[in-house]
Every structure is written in C-alpha cells, then in structure tokens.
C-alpha cells in the first residue's frame, strides 16, 4: 500500500516538474525542475529495493551532471534578447531528423515495455545479484551506449569551458602589480573586515574604527547598492549614511573602469 501511494505521489510530482522544465521560460528554473525529476526517480528506485541505482541517481546524475548544467547556466547566462539567427547551416533540418529519431526510439521503448513478456526481478538478478546483473548488461550489451554517454559528458565539460572563456580587453595585472598599486594608493594596509569593532558581525554592516568612526571602505559596494535600492538600511544614522555614500560612489565608474572602457572602444574601432 505504501509503495502504491509513494508511486502516485512521485508520479504527479515528476510529471509536473517535467512539464515545468519544458514550458518554463527561464533556463535556470528548467534545470531545477530537471533536478526534481531526477530526485523523484531516485526515490522510486529506493522504493523498488534498488539502493545502488538510487545512490547512483543522486550522486552521479543529480549531484554531478545536473549541478554541472546549473553552474554552466549561471556562469554563462541566458539572455532573452539573444539573437535567433542561425549560425550553422542546416541545423534546423538535422534537429528535425534528430527529433524524429528520438520519437521513434520512445515509441519502440514504450511498445517493448508494454507488449514484451515480463521477465521478473528474480530472473533478471539470478546471475549473482542486481549489481552484478547491471554490470554485465552495462559492460557487454550496452557498452557502446555507455562509452558514447561518457564522450558526450566530456564534450559538455569542454563546451562549458569554451563558453565561459572571455577575451580580456586589458592585460591581467600580476600580484606584483597589485601590491605596487596598493602601496602607492590611499590604503596600503588590507581593508578592514566587516563587523570589526561593531556589535554584530555581518557582511552588510560597516565596520567601526577604534575611534568610533565608520569605516566606509569596509562596506561592500554591491551589497550597499542592494540595501539602498530595497531600503534595508540600519537604524543607526551613521551606518545608514555610510552605506548610502558607498552606494553613490559605486554608481560612478572608477578610473580603472573608465580606462578599460576607453581601451575597449579603441580596440573595437
């Protein structure tokens, strides 16, 4: 009874997550929906007394491959204003061919599962347990598909590195250059950490210097801008003024950013 209830509950969750993955407009949400489907499959494997498959489903697919997809999407980014112009000739034609082939495989698999005689769990695992049976099938009958899958995963990893690579407009500063610029600047010592000499240790709160004044350099400029935009300022007027002042400076481009922008425009020309 419990197995039946678990199946129907997870079936509804899996189908709903699959539909959300297909029809969602945001790629990150689609990846999260796919992770939900994979976790539901792992629970179904565990209910069917297959802990090895459940562990592999969680560790390999959900924990490794799914997180790889999610990190690539978050790193590269998907903009809705991306161009839809074809960069490869004939990709729509081959996409249609691939879709027809995939549909044929799905129909054959469903027909084989519905009309083929059931072998039963005892007959399948009679060669020494389900782990040995899975290993024999994987490395004998389906070894070609296994190797193709590993090649696809390696290709996906290489594609992620290629997509994440961006050309630099200016030369990357070395540690020697950074140290020299720090000692020639206004703050040769490291910046004070957030929460230092303060009553709370939080990254969004400015630090207090030993004389009781607010160290504006300890405020993260991105967090300060977020606090100002969403009105998450502290009650202390000194701290609020420091955060607001840091956010105003963050809006104005620095000299290094201006030089990088001018250099990039010259390279473009």
pLDDT tens for each residue of 228-240: 888 878 787 887 8
Ramachandran bin of 189, using left for φ above 0, alpha for ψ from -120 to 50, beta for the remaining angles = beta
Block residue for tokens 């082939």:
101
Instruction: Report the distance separating Cα 21 and Cα 59, nearest Å.
Output: 21
CB atoms within 10 A of CB 185: 8
> For position 77, what pLDDT does the model report?
59
> For position 100, what pLDDT does the model report?
93
- pLDDT of 175 above 80: yes
Instruction: Report the distance separating Cα 6 and Cα 90, nearest Å.
Output: 45
Query: Contact, 31 vs 69, CB < 8 A?
Result: yes
Share the mean pLDDT of the chain: 75
Token output for 184:
């020639």
Determine the length of the chain.
269
Token output for 28:
């990150």
3-state secondary structure at position 190:
coil
Q: Is the pTM of this model over 0.75?
A: no
Rg (C-alpha) for the chain, rounded Å, is 28
Token output for 105:
């495989």
- What Å distances lie between residue 254 and 259, 260, 261, CA to CA? 9, 10, 11
- pLDDT of 66 above 70: yes
Strand partners, 214: 208
Query: Contact, 243 vs 217, CB < 8 A?
Result: no
């Amino acid at each position: 009874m419990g197995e039946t209830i678990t199946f129907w509950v997870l079936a509804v969750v899996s189908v709903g997550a699959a539909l959300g993955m297909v029809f969602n407009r945001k790629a990150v949400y689609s990846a999260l929906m796919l992770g939900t489907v994979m976790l539901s499959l792992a629970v179904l494997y565990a209910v069917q007394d297959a802990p090895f498959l459940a562990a592999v489903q969680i560790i390999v697919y959900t924990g490794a491959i799914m997180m790889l997809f999610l990190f690539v999407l978050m790193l590269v980014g998907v903009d809705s204003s991306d161009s839809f112009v074809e960069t490869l000739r004939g990709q729509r034609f081959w996409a249609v061919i691939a879709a027809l082939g995939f549909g044929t495989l799905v129909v054959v698999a469903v027909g084989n599962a519905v009309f083929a005689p059931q072998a039963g769990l005892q007959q399948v695992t009679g060669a020494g347990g389900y782990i040995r049976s899975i290993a024999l099938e994987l490395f004998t009958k389906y070894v070609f598909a296994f190797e193709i899958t590993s090649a696809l995963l390696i290709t996906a990893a290489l594609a992620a590195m290629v997509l994440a690579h961006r050309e630099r407009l200016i030369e990357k500063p070395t540690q020697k250059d950074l140290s020299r610029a720090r000692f020639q600047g206004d703050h040769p010592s490291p910046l004070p950490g957030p929460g230092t000499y303060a009553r709370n240790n939080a990254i969004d709160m400015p630090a207090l210097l030993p004389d009781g004044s607010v160290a504006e350099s300890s405020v993260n400029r991105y967090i300060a801008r977020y606090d100002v935009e969403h009105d998450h300022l502290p009650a202390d007027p000194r701290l609020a003024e420091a955060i607001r002042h840091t956010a105003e400076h963050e809006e104005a481009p620095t000299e290094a950013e201006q030089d990088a922008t001018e250099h990039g425009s010259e390279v473009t020309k």
